[in-house]
């Protein structure tokens, strides 16, 4: 299935929903210092693991791991059905 077919299939069936997840914070939560890049990567990984309907689309986010390596390792872990490169379109 081509990228265009996958994207069309996704957008045709897309039904956005509000997030109803509650977040509880306590002092016993493990925290660590990390870079913004690592925090963004961790957040995307967490959402991909939590919800099978979450996908990442963008220029060079899959095989190249993103221009700033924010999506590093996500394509290898979740595959090209969930982390997809989009074409650069310029007029």
Model confidence over 5-50: pLDDT tens digits?
666 565 555 565 555 556 565 555 566 788 899 999 999 999 999 9
Q: CB pairs under 8 A, 24+ apart, for 1-5?
A: 3/84, 3/85, 3/86
Flag whether 86 is in a domain: yes
Flag whether 25 is in a domain: no
Flag whether 10 is in a domain: no
Q: Measure the N-to-C terminal CA separation of the chain; round to a whole number of Å.
A: 27
CB burial of 25-43 (b: ≥16 within 10 Å; e: otherwise) equals eeeeeeeeeeeeeeeebee
Write out the residue range of the structural domain in which residue 83 sits. Answer: 55-91
pTM: 0.63
Number of domains in the chain: 1
């Amino acid at each position: 299935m081509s990228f265009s077919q996958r994207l069309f299939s996704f957008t045709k069936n897309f039904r956005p929903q509000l997030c109803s997840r509650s977040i509880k914070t306590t002092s016993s939560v493990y925290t660590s210092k990390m870079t913004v890049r690592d925090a963004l990567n961790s957040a995307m990984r967490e959402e991909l693991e939590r919800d099978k309907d979450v996908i990442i689309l963008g220029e060079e986010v899959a095989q190249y791991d993103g221009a700033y390596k924010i999506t590093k390792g996500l394509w290898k872990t979740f595959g090209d059905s969930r982390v997809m490169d989009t074409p650069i379109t310029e007029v």
